[in-house]
Structure 1
Amino acid sequence: MKMMTYGYIKMIRELVGHTPIILNCTGGILLNDKREVLLNLRTDTHNWSLPGGYLEYGETFAQGLVREYKEDSGLDVRIVRPLKLFDKGETKYPNGDVAQTIAMLYLVAPVGGSLLTQATDETLGLKFWPFDDLPPLLNQQNADMLAYAAANV
């Protein structure tokens, strides 16, 4: 495998501006003992999403998930099992960027690290939410992923 190229999406955006693009991403379902799911409050859109994110060039879905989960939550996770691929989704960002997202969803378990206690450049906060009382979400794809997990995990 070739080395990963960090900053890939930024490089692409510099070339195409706000032109809609297709991006691969990944997200993880982490449940607490009350069967609540961990979500992160995003700095860019000020709504909630599953920890995860876009793949860098050369990364697999699994590698991207472990890296992004750590960035978004502070936790080191292991993949318990893949859940489903979601290929219908679009995200519109406040800066005008639009992306069609192809997202691989995984069930994960913590293996180290600790939940972030301070805001970062990507995460304002973290909270466990019951599936039947979710906050405003990033997009319909996150809602679809959470609905799938509620029924299948």
Structure 2
Amino acid sequence: MLVEYIKWLRGKVGHDYVILNFAGAIIQDESRRLLLQKRGDNHQWGFPGGCIEIGESAEETAIREIKEETGFDISINGMIGVYSKYFHEYPNGDKAQTIGVFFDCSLNGGEMKIDESETLDLEFFDVEHIPPLFHQKHYDALEDFLNNKRGVYR
């Protein structure tokens, strides 16, 4: 459904800027390491998550996307924040102002699974060894998470 919607939308606006809404998760394991996903579209690290589909809440999106991209089931502990003034150009030339809702999450089941299309790799990292992240929005959410800020809006 989402792919068809984006194809339809891009058929109308081409590569021009659109607003896209995302939900993502910062997930800690029992050792307090953070789960990162090496993305299939740009081969860079970031927090798992994805585009909110029509009829879906941000919370539902985070739960669905984490299951699809990582194989894990999660519990949402709370919202870290809403990150709304960020711009991105995709490898195909599409441009978007991206709005991301990031959640603080815990693992509650499932098994790590790499699908090799959206996800090239998954790894838990100690906070001191986080690799470069693909987007400033992810850096800002990480900073807020580490500083125990909640209800952030940027």
1:14 maps to 2:11 = yes
Aligned pairs, how many? 148
TM-score, reference length from structure 1? 0.88
Structure 2 residue ranges without an equivalent (≥5): 150-154
AA at the equivalent of 2:117: D
The 5 Å alignment of 1:14-93 reads 14-93=11-90
AA at the equivalent of 2:37: N
TM-score, reference length from structure 2? 0.88
The 5 Å alignment of 1:82-121 reads 82-116=79-113, 118-121=114-117
After the TM superposition, which segments of 4 or more aligned residues of structure 1 sit over 6 Å from their partners? none
* Equivalent-residue separation in structure 1 for 2:56 and 2:102 (angstroms): 15
Q: 2:147 aligns to what SS in structure 1?
A: helix
Q: 1:112 Cα deviation (Å)?
A: 2.2
Counterpart position of 1:126: 122
8 Å CA contact 2:29, 2:106 repeated in 1: no
* Equivalent-residue separation in structure 2 for 1:139 and 1:131 (angstroms): 17
AA at the equivalent of 1:114: E
Q: 1:87 aligns to what SS in structure 2?
A: strand
1:144 maps to 2:143 = no
Structure 1 residue ranges without an equivalent (≥5): none
Q: 2:79 aligns to what SS in structure 1?
A: strand
Percent identity, aligned pairs only, is 38
Counterpart position of 2:131: 135
8 Å CA contact 2:80, 2:141 repeated in 1: no
